[in-house]
Amino acid sequence: MKLARWIERGVLAALLFAGLLCPQGARAFYGSLALAFVGIAGTLLVGAAIVTAIAERSTSRLQGPRRLPRFSGRAAKDTTLAALVAASLLAWPLARLFADEPTGLVWDVDAAGGLTVVILGNLGALVVLDAWLYWKHRLLHTRALFPFHRAHHGYRDPTAYASFAVGTVESVLTFWPIVLLAFPWATHYAPVYFGLVGGFVLLNFYLHCGATLRLVEAVLPRLGVNTSAFHNRHHANANVNFGEAMIVWDRLMGTNEAAVEARRAIASR
Ligand SMILES: [Zn+2]
């Protein structure tokens, strides 16, 4: 545990001090970092506050009337730290943007390679990123890496504040694709990119809010997308339901709760 804490601190220090090497200058980097941090932390905390205020009053709470503590203060602090990690990654493309240097973000569909390339490229990226999120989460549940994920499982009956309440190492493993924006060859068509990032943030709020919306629970599983009912079970029972964006890999690997329970029932016969 102690070693993990020191590694977390070392990684954060490296992310922050790396800005001294920024080609656009340290001033440009830390200015971008400050702006990104306020934007990301503000969005996540205000969003979590709104979703929590609604979900805690819901009559469809997954774990019934609240018995376990919310730990909202701790979750807000962890979220702020995760926002700092994300900002330290976003500061690289932002510094280039403010210096009028090219980045991977383009607003013109032709400059992004045309409509077909945009659609197929984003679908391909979604499949790859979802696989990465699932296997990253499985890795974080191994004995060696669980110390970097343990705190997130402190929220056994989570609120939206827990959505991004993850440690520094897990934040890097989740948010690293942000850095790709700094490379002009890594073309991201802005409207789709911001739509997907916004969707990912909203989905994460929903996954951790502790309540369900009937229509959402009816539609998302049919599309293979994760839901509050599905992910809440991972917080109640950390051995099942590892999918973060989609639930496809849990089905393929038999790690969804239904499959795990079925195997357990056969084994106990
Ligand atoms: Zn987990």
Residues 6 or more apart whose CB falls under 8 angstroms from that of 142 comprise: none
The confidence score (pLDDT) of residue 269 equals 80
| pLDDT exceeds cutoff 90 at 69 | no
Percent of the chain with pLDDT over 90: 91
**Cα 27 to averaged position of ligand 1 atoms, centre (Å):** 37
Distance 110 CA to ligand 1 centre (A): 40
pLDDT for the residue numbered 1? 63
- pTM listed for this prediction: 0.94
* Domain coordinates in residue numbering, the chain: 2-267
Quick one: average pLDDT of 105-126?
Answer: 94
Q: Cα(86)–Cα(76) distance, rounded to whole angstroms?
A: 15
- Cα–Cα distance between 47 and 4 in angstroms, integer? 29
Ligand 1 midpoint to CA 163 (Å): 12
- Token pair in block for residue 259: 């499959």
**Ligand 1 centroid from CA 233, angstroms:** 10
Judging by beta carbons within 10 Å of its beta carbon (0-12, 13-18, 19+), is residue 110 exposed, middle or buried? exposed
d(CA 85, CA 131): 22
- How many angstroms separate the CA atoms of 224 and 40, rounded? 28
Residue 232 has pLDDT above 70, yes or no: yes
d(CA 102, CA 11): 28
- DSSP, residue by residue, 103-121: -SEES-TTTTT-HHHHHHH
